[in-house]
C-alpha cells in the first residue's frame, strides 16, 4: 500500500468525495451491519456507478512473493514524486520475516524506519482512507483478497501479475518502475468494478410453517424498504467482487432453493446449488457452471445453476437494478451453504434466505488504456478461448 500526505493522484478530489459519501466508522472484514437498500436508492446507485466509471497488498503465499514485495517496497521508498516522499505499508507479518529482512532495510537508510510501515486487517477495516493506492502482487486470487480486506470503501487498486490467472491483473511486474513513474506523474484512471452486497436473513421461527410460508413472508415484506423484521433477523453483510455460491455443502442430496427477483418468486431450484456472479466473476465459478462470459463493463447479475436436475434451466443475466434473493423453503429436506468469494461459509437453514444486490462500494481497479483488448486477450491466453486448427482450404484444380 502507498500513502502520500499532501495532494494526491489525478481525480483524487472526486474519489475522496465519493469515499466520504459512503464511509462508515465500524467495518468488519468478516461482514458488517448494513441498512437494506431501497428500490429507489439501488436504482440511483447503479446509475451513479456507471457515470463514475467514465473516470502494497500482497497475499503472502510463498518466498518468491516476499522477495517481490521487498523489491517493490524499496522501489517505492526511492521513488520521488511532485508532492514528496511516499509512505509504504506492507503486511504486518513481514516485520519478523527473514526473507523480507525489515531491520536491514531500515538500517540502510534511517528515513525508511519512518516511511516503511505495516498494515493490519483492522487498519484496512477501519481506516481505508489512510491509503491512496493499493498494489497487489500475485494473481486474481490476490486481487479478491484485497477486495475482501476492504469490505466497504476500497482505495484504487493497481494489480501486478505474478500468478497463473490474469483477468484482473493487467500490469507486468517487469515494467514496475516505468508504470510507477507514469502514475506519479500523470495519476491513474480507475474502472469501477461492480461488487455485490450479500446479506443473510435468518428465520425467527419455523413453528407452524408450511412450504408456501416463505413465499408469503417475502411478498409481505415488499414495498420501498423490504421490511422483514417480523419474520426474519438481519445478519452480516459481505461485499464480494466475484461471486456468491449457494450449494448443498456436505449434504448427500441436492438442495431445494427458491430464486426471487425483488419480492417475486421466479423459480424453484432443484440442483447442487446456484452461482450468483458479477461480470468480473463471469470467468470464474460461473463459467465452470455453464454461465456466459460477460465483459466487466457490462452491468448485470449472472445467475448460473450448478448441476440442475432439469434440462431447461439455463443460465441468465438479470439487470443490476434488481434485488436477488436465494431462499431455503421451510419444507426443504436439507439446509444450504453460502460462500462469498470462496470465503465465509454460512449455513442457510429452512426459512433463511440470502439477499444479493449491487454494492454501494464498488472496486476501483487501476486500468490501462487497453482494457477492452486485455480482457479478450485474457480469454485467449488463460482459457484458450475458441482455439482450434484452421480448416484447410480446398485444393481446386485450375
**DSSP string computed for 43-62:** HHHHHHHHHHTT--EE---S
Hey, what's the cell of 49?
456507478
Residue from 127, 62, 118 nearest 90 by CA: 118
Q: Are 147 and 154 in contact (CB under 8 A)?
A: yes
**pTM exceeds 0.95:** no
In the 3-class helix/strand/coil scheme, how is 233-295 assigned residue by residue?
EEEEEEEECCEEEEECCCCCCCEEEEEEECCEEEEEEEECEEEEECHHHHHCHHHHCCCCCCC
Hey, what's the cell of 226?
423490504
Sign of CA dihedral 143, 147, 149, 154: positive
Per CATH, the homologous superfamily of domain 196-358 is Probable inorganic polyphosphate/atp-NAD kinase; domain 2 (2.60.200.30)
CA distance linking residue 387 with residue 385, whole number of Å: 6
Mapped onto helix, strand or coil, the DSSP state of residue 298 is: coil
Q: Residue 43's pLDDT is what?
A: 56
Mark residue 235 as left, alpha or beta (left: phi above 0; alpha: psi -120 to 50; beta: remaining): beta
Q: Are 47 and 78 in contact (CB under 8 A)?
A: no
> What string of pLDDT tens digits covers the 398 residues of the chain?
655 443 344 444 444 444 443 333 333 445 666 656 665 555 555 544 443 322 277 767 677 888 999 999 988 888 777 777 788 999 999 988 888 888 888 888 777 778 889 998 998 888 888 898 999 998 888 899 999 999 989 999 999 988 766 788 888 888 888 888 888 888 888 889 999 999 999 999 988 888 888 888 888 876 555 678 888 999 989 999 999 999 998 888 999 999 999 889 999 999 999 999 999 999 999 999 999 999 998 999 999 999 999 999 999 999 999 999 999 999 999 999 999 998 878 999 999 999 999 999 999 999 877 666 777 877 887 788 888 888 888 887 76
Q: Residue 1's pLDDT is what?
A: 64
Q: Residue 21's pLDDT is what?
A: 39
Residues of the chain with CATH 2.60.200.30: 196-358
The CATH code of domain 56-188 reads 3.40.50.10330
Mapped onto helix, strand or coil, the DSSP state of residue 179 is: helix
Q: Residue 308's pLDDT is what?
A: 93
Residues of the chain with CATH 3.40.50.10330: 56-188
Q: Residue 7's pLDDT is what?
A: 39
DSSP state of 89: E
CA distances 343 to 174, 241, 337, Å, are 31, 12, 11
Hey, what's the cell of 29?
472484514
Distance, C-alpha 291 to centroid of its chain:
18
How big is the chain, counted in residues?
398
Triad 296, 301, 302: Cα angle to 5°: 90
Provide the angle, in degrees to the nearest 10, between the axes of the packed helices 63-77 and 176-186: 40
Hey, what's the cell of 272?
447442487
Hey, what's the cell of 54?
467514465
Q: Residue 225's pLDDT is what?
A: 56
DSSP 115-130: HEEEE-HHHHHH-GGG
CA distance linking residue 157 with residue 56, whole number of Å: 9
Residue from 323, 281, 321 nearest 302 by CA: 281
Amino acid at each position: 500500500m502507498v500513502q502520500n500526505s499532501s495532494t494526491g493522484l489525478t481525480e483524487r478530489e472526486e474519489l475522496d468525495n465519493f469515499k466520504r459519501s459512503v464511509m462508515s466508522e465500524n467495518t468488519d472484514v468478516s461482514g458488517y451491519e448494513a441498512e437494506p437498500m431501497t428500490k429507489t436508492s439501488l436504482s440511483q446507485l447503479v446509475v451513479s456507478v456507471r457515470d463514475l466509471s467514465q473516470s502494497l497488498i500482497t497475499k503472502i503465499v510463498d518466498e518468491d512473493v516476499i522477495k517481490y514485495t521487498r523489491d517493490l517496497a524499496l522501489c517505492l521508498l526511492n521513488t520521488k514524486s511532485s508532492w514528496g516522499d511516499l509512505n509504504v505499508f506492507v503486511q504486518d507479518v513481514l516485520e519478523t520475516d527473514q526473507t523480507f529482512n525489515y531491520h536491514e532495510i531500515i538500517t540502510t537508510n534511517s528515513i525508511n524506519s519512518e516511511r516503511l510501515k505495516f498494515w493490519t486487517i483492522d487498519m484496512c477495516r477501519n481506516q481505508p482512507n489512510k491509503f491512496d493506492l493499493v498494489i497487489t502482487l500475485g494473481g486474481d486470487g490476490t486481487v479478491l483478497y484485497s477486495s475482501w480486506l476492504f469490505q466497504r470503501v476500497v482505495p484504487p487498486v493497481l494489480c501486478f501479475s505474478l500468478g497463473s490467472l490474469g483477468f484482473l491483473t493487467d500490469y507486468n511486474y517487469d515494467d514496475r518502475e516505468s508504470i510507477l513513474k507514469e502514475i506519479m506523474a500523470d495519476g491513474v484512471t480507475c474502472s469501477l468494478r461492480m461488487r455485490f452486497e450479500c446479506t443473510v436473513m435468518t428465520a425467527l421461527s419455523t413453528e407452524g410453517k408450511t412450504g408456501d410460508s416463505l413465499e408469503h413472508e417475502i411478498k409481505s415484506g415488499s414495498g420501498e424498504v423490504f421490511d422483514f423484521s417480523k419474520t426474519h433477523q438481519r445478519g452480516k453483510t459481505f461485499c464480494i467482487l466475484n461471486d456468491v455460491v449457494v450449494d448443498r455443502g456436505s449434504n448427500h442430496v441436492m438442495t431445494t432453493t427458491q430464486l426471487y427477483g425483488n419480492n417475486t418468486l421466479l423459480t424453484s431450484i432443484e440442483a447442487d446449488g446456484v452461482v450468483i456472479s458479477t461480470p468480473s466473476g463471469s470467468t470464474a465459478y460461473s463459467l465452470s457452471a455453464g454461465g456466459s462470459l460477460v465483459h466487466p463493463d457490462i452491468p448485470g447479475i449472472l445467475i448460473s445453476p450448478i448441476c440442475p436436475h432439469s434440462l431447461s434451466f439455463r443460465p441468465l443475466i438479470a439487470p443490476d437494478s434488481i434485488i436477488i434473493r436465494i431462499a431455503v423453503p421451510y419444507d426443504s429436506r436439507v439446509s444450504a451453504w453460502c460462500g462469498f468469494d470462496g470465503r465465509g461459509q454460512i449455513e442457510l437453514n429452512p426459512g433463511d434466505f440470502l439477499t444479493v444486490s449491487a454494492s454501494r462500494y464498488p472496486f476501483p481497479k487501476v486500468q490501462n488504456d487497453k482494457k477492452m483488448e486485455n480482457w479478450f486477450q485474457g480469454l485467449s491466453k488463460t482459457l484458450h478461448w475458441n482455439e482450434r486448427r484452421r480448416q484447410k482450404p480446398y485444393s481446386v484444380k485450375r
